[in-house]
């Protein structure tokens, strides 16, 4: 079972927060005898710095890894923590497996998603990628998660999905703990103020 992620520290001489998060996540995943492919991506070379824009690269990254491995992959945010062995992923037989958010029991998390190596999952990812790219260099007060939710709410019966409940959360005791990093917290707070969106 392959987990995938990327991380980026804007000023690594000042803070290696995301690298340290990834190394912690890597240790947890390998403890359960799973594999993780994590990349340190220099987004400054893509002229991308803002937190919300970094996440818009997520579907492109996932598609690249599906192409590389030719087998299912599990996206997990680098600042997440795996508390218990997530054996549920081993049993999935679907195109996409979504972890459902605890606050409403219907909205998917963007932090942990299972993608099978099927054409249907790739079609979903390509649609997500196209919509994310449209927002990459324009002013837009949301992240890849908004686009994911819109797509999730329009999924038809041609895509076989599984919904995992009470499996990953921010506040509850679940197998996967979803992190809110400093940059993520600043970004979420900025949506409720008149300040500019903070960078990582």
Write out pLDDT tens, residues 150-182. Answer: 999 999 999 999 999 999 999 889 999 998 754
pLDDT confidence of residue 187: 44
pTM of the entire predicted model:
0.89
Rounded mean pLDDT, 123-133? 97
For the cut 90, the answer to whether the pLDDT of residue 94 exceeds it is yes
Residue 178: Cβ-neighbour burial (10 angstroms; 0-12, 13-18, 19+): buried
84 compared with 184, residue with greater pLDDT: 84
Q: Determine contact, residues 22/89, Cβ cutoff 8 Å.
A: no
List the domains of the chain with CATH numbers: 2-190 (3.90.550.10)
What pLDDT does 14 receive?
87
């Amino acid at each position: 079972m392959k987990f995938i992620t990327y991380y980026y520290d804007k000023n690594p001489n000042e803070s290696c927060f995301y690298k340290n998060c990834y190394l912690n996540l890597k240790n947890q995943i390998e403890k359960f005898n799973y594999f993780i492919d994590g990349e340190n991506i220099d987004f400054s070379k893509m002229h991308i710095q803002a937190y919300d824009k970094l996440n818009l690269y997520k579907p492109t990254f996932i598609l690249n890894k599906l192409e590389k491995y030719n087998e299912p992959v599990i996206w997990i945010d680098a600042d997440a923590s795996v508390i218990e062995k997530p054996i549920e992923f081993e049993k999935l037989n679907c195109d996409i497996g979504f972890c459902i958010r605890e606050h409403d029991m219907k909205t998917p998390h963007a932090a942990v998603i299972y993608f099978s190596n099927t054409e249907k999952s790739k079609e979903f990812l390509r649609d997500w990628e196209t919509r994310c790219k449209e927002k990459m260099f324009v002013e837009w007060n949301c992240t890849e998660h908004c686009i994911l939710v819109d797509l999730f709410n329009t999924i038809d019966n041609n895509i076989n999905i599984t919904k995992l409940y009470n499996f990953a959360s921010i506040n509850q005791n679940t197998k996967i703990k979803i992190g809110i990093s400093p940059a993520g917290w600043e970004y979420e707070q900025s949506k409720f103020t008149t300040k500019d969106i903070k960078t990582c």
